[in-house]
A and B are shown apart, each in its own frame.
Chain A
Amino acid sequence: MEELQMLDAVERYIRGQMNSQEKEYFEQLRKSNPEVDQLVVAHTMFLNQLNKYGEQKNFKAVLNEVHHDLVEAGEIKEKAPQAKVFDLFRRNKKVWAVAACIAGVTALAIAGMVSYYTQKTNTLVLENLSRQIKQDMAKTKREVRNELNDTKKAIPKIPETAVPISGGTGFLIDVKGFIVTNAHVVNDATNVVVQNNKQQEYRAKTVYINPVTDIAILKIVDEDFKSFPSLPYGIKKTGADLGEQLFTLGYPRDEIVYNEGYMSAKTGYKGDTMYCQIGISANPGNSGGPVFNKNGEVIGMINTRQLQAEGVVFAVTAKNIFRSLEDARKDTAFGNVKLNSNSSIKNLDRTQQVKKIEDCVFMVKSY
């Protein structure tokens, strides 16, 4: 209660509602009691604030009222009177409509085209690296005839009219003419012809094919073929380490092509352990190409590349080649084929190695 009376007194003092006697007494009190003085100061400030608050609130109320009235009376329009964009829009409504229609149609057309074309490529993530040999039929014939006329040496191993359907690379695994390549290279073939880097062609036949591991073994069945005294390279069962320098030879064109790269990952696409990933540039035609480490040992065989990614190539591991050979031994008569595990070109420099190897790498053409 005392507090309330005090507050009343303070407020009356501030508002000047005290009579002179009371005021004198209160001022005395204020001087003697610093607490009272403090209360007066604080309350003055507070009342001041409250007053301002009241004034502003009142004024705002009036403003809102005025605003409302003026809007009602139509003196103020609650929309942009000079907004140029809206003005332009209103003036050119028809043009906008036509433009919008055209834009819509174009957008639809483009979207349609994009989805139409992307569908195709999306489904094909990996690309087999066999080559479509696009040779004009007439041209082949002419060349063959020319060759016949010019030199009697080259006897065509294929019918004159045949056109190769696909091409890849293969390499010898045995001196007697056993060649390893990818199954997808010779899959649809009725006839297979291999061609070495000196453009000599030999007839071959498929003796083993496994589309799951993508490995095929061919045997050269041609009287012209002379078996090699020995193979310069061996096949390494244990694979390669990450970062190891690798190189490959293949026939992305009619000429043998050398390429260098490195071991990127020990598994293939989506963690497939039958394959390994190699950072190398490979093109259609490189399929079936041997992958060598720096000692000239075969550690794998190129088979696919990832389409969306640059330089991502997958290779069948050498271990799988071994396994396929064991498979093949079971039912066919090439029990005497033995994989060479030593490489005789270990300490040669790269150009010497390639010189020795290139004789054993063939272009495989399917007809």
Chain B
Amino acid sequence: MKSELNENALLEGLAQNDRLAIETLYRQHYKMVQALIINNQGTIDDARDIFQETMIVLYEKAKSGNFELNCQIKTYVYSVSRRLWLKRLQQLQKYVPNVNGMDEIVPVEEEVELAEQRNADFQLMEKAMMNLGEPCKSLLEAFYVQKKSMTEIAGNFGYTNADNAKNQKYKCLMRLKKIFFAQYKNESA
């Protein structure tokens, strides 16, 4: 029972973005995923990609609060990674009759589909950010990603006061919105 408690604690830590929890999970499971990917036509970079994607799935799950893990984290991580890698192989049109490794897997279709959606959204926003250009990109990221305060940002970016920075930020935000929604419509059309 002790390990179960530990696992729950780990997930809680993960949800709160706790560095130690992330590191522990990383140390516990990365090797297994790497072996899986490499034994099935993947590279080191693929392994890293897939594992991090899996970690994001786990992170989102843990954060959502209604995550009830009814198996070991290890099994869950393995199942998600395996599913993700199979999808990737399918996209690359490589045929893999049987991804071998552990037999014990849990159904993770839903999570993987969600992850795909999330990835698509992420890429959409990333692309919009790329098209936005500097200094808008840095400004917006400072506020919305790094969650810095307007005064801090004004100092960093050399605006005379926070209000000025705020105005600039809204201008940038409007442009980003325009780019984003243009792409969004394209994608959904």
Chain A residues at the B interface, C-beta cutoff of 8 Å: 3-4, 7-8, 42-43, 46, 49-54, 56-60, 62-64, 66-67, 69-70, 75-76, 78-84
Contact = CB atoms under 8 A, between A and B. Distances in A.
Contacts, number: 96
A58 B17 contact: yes
Contacts of B147: 54
Given A50-B144, A76-B31, A83-B38, A67 B48 contact: yes
B174 interface: yes
A252 B63 CA distance: 92
24 contacts: A3-B174, A4-B170, A7-B173, A8-B166, A42-B177, A43-B177, A49-B124, A52-B122, A53-B122, A53-B126, A54-B146, A54-B147, A59-B55, A63-B52, A64-B52, A66-B22, A66-B26, A70-B23, A70-B30, A76-B27, A76-B30, A76-B34, A80-B38, A84-B39
B151 to A, nearest CB: 15
B27 A70 contact: yes
Contact of A63 (B26, B39, B121, B146): B26
Contacts of A62: 17, 19, 22
A49 B180 contact: yes
A7 B166 CA distance: 11
Interface residues of B, number: 39
Pick the most buried of A43, A46, A83: most chain B CB atoms within 10 A of its CB: A46
Interface string B120-150: 0110111000000000000011001111000
A111 B187 CA distance: 56
Interface of B: 17, 19, 22-23, 26-27, 30-31, 34-35, 38-39, 44, 48, 52, 55-56, 59, 118, 121-122, 124-126, 140-141, 144-147, 166-167, 170-171, 173-174, 177, 180-181
Contacts of B27: 70, 75-76
A226 B23 CA distance: 113
B171 A4 contact: yes
Contacts of A51: 144
Contacts of A76: 26-27, 30-31, 34
B170 A67 contact: no
Contacts of B181: 42, 46
Pick the most buried of A7, A50, A51, A81: most chain B CB atoms within 10 A of its CB: A50
B28 to A, nearest CB: 10
A81 B31 contact: yes
Given A53-B126, A62-B19, A81-B31, A4 B145 contact: no
